[in-house]
């Protein structure tokens, strides 16, 4: 297989955390992606433009001197988010979206939205200002089965929200189900979806079956939204390779210390940044659609966000990625997911 060269991609959904962890994981994204939408769910959430400005400065300060990378900042939506803060966000030039986390749906979401009605003023202003709403699409109530939380969210939250705010630009992030694919493909208005590499490459069996076929729990494959059945994975692959510009790359790379993943109540999140693009390339090759990888990875995202496409390129060659050294932040180790199925590896960014 000949090497492939594509326009340098962007990551439209990324967790960098903060401080020493951010310093440890940031280079793995910056070596591949020119830009990334950075999630605001820090332990103290990024709810204001000034907090986003400070976080952006910390990211750029942690970037190795020989790397170029642009963080695209977001605000964390709460019931207290004001219309005035949305206006400041739009005028800032560096805030590119506002993130809706249903309260207690995922990591550091305890400050999130309990009722969409609490956010009316913010959403109306976002609609007028054309500032995208980025959605973690799951309900978090205890009576909802974890494998059904995305499907229920579509019916109970997203469809009514978009009916009330029909001009709002929406990204349904890290979709995992056939129902989400069908909704994004067919719904009227300005809506798109990101798809992760791990949801394309694995179904939910990966959490429960070891590499040798033995039974067991593999916590590094646990994420939210959780991996789904094989028929859902196939629907995601079909959407990703379809050439439909409503679907584009967002890794949702989410580092957690190994000791927190391998615990009695392990954290949700997959740290895929070191192998993300090779993992996407592997899925596209298996689907016979390598010629569509560039559009999915490098064109549809910036087009939807109204940003220029990147001028540089990246190159991949056939072969298993090299082992990476331990990713450490102090005494904490962060284990990357994805190498086990990759059949491509990164070479250079030009």
Ordered DSSP codes for 247-282: EEE---B----HHHHSSTTPPP-B--GGGHHHHHHH
DSSP assigned state of 311: S
Q: Are 65 and 99 in contact (CB under 8 A)?
A: no
Residue with tokens 């070891």, as numbered in its chain: 210
**What is the maximum span of the chain, computed from C-alpha positions, in angstroms?**
56
Burial class of residue 58 in the structure, from the number of CB atoms within 10 Å of its CB (0-12 exposed, 13-18 middle, 19+ buried): middle
Alpha-carbon span 36 to 71, nearest angstrom: 5
Q: What are the start-end ranges of the H helices in the chain?
A: 19-30, 49-62, 83-92, 120-129, 149-153, 159-164, 178-186, 197-201, 230-240, 258-261, 276-286, 293-294, 300-305
Catalytic residue among 143, 212, 231, 252: 252
Q: Is 252 a known active-site residue?
A: yes
CB under 8 Å to 312, separation ≥6 — which residues? 7, 8, 34, 349, 350
Q: Which of 21, 9, 14 is nearest to 39 (CA)?
A: 14
Q: With contact defined as beta carbons under 8 Å apart, do 289 and 237 qualify?
A: no
Q: Which residues are catalytic?
A: 252
């Amino acid at each position: 297989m000949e090497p492939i060269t594509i326009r340098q991609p962007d990551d439209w959904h990324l967790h960098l955390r903060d401080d020493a962890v951010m310093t440890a994981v940031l280079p793995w994204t910056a070596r591949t992606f020119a830009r990334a939408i950075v999630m605001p769910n820090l332990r103290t959430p990024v709810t204001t433009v000034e907090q986003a400005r400070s976080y952006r400065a910390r990211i750029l300060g942690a970037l190795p001197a020989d790397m170029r990378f642009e963080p695209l900042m977001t605000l964390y939506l709460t019931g207290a988010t004001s219309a005035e803060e949305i206006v400041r966000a739009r005028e800032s030039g560096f805030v590119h979206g506002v993130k809706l986390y249903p309260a207690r749906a995922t990591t550091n979401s305890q400050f999130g939205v309990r009722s969409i009605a609490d956010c009316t003023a913010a959403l109306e202003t976002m609609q007028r200002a054309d500032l995208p709403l980025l959605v973690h699409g799951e309900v978090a109530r205890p009576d909802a089965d974890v494998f059904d939380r995305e499907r229920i969210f579509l019916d109970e939250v997203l469809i009514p929200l978009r009916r009330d705010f029909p001009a709002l630009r929406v990204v349904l992030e890290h979709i995992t189900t056939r129902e989400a694919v069908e909704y994004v493909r067919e719904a009227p208005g300005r809506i798109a979806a990101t798809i992760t590499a791990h949801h394309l490459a694995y179904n939910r069996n990966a959490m429960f079956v070891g590499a040798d076929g033995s039974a067991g729990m593999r916590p590094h494959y646990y994420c939210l939204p959780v991996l789904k059945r094989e028929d859902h994975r196939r629907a995601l692959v079909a959407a990703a390779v379809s050439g439909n510009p409503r679907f584009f790359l967002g890794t949702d790379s989410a580092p957690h210390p190994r000791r927190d993943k391998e615990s009695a109540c392990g954290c949700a999140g997959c740290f895929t940044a070191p192998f993300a693009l090779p993992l996407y390339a592997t899925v596209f090759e298996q689907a016979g659609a390598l010629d569509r990888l560039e559009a999915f990875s490098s064109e549809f995202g910036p087009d939807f966000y109204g940003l220029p496409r990147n001028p540089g390129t990246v190159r991949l060659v056939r072969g298993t990625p090299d082992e990476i050294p331990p990713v450490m932040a102090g005494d904490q180790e962060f284990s990357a997911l994805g190498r086990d199925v990759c059949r491509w590896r990164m070479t250079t960014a030009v």
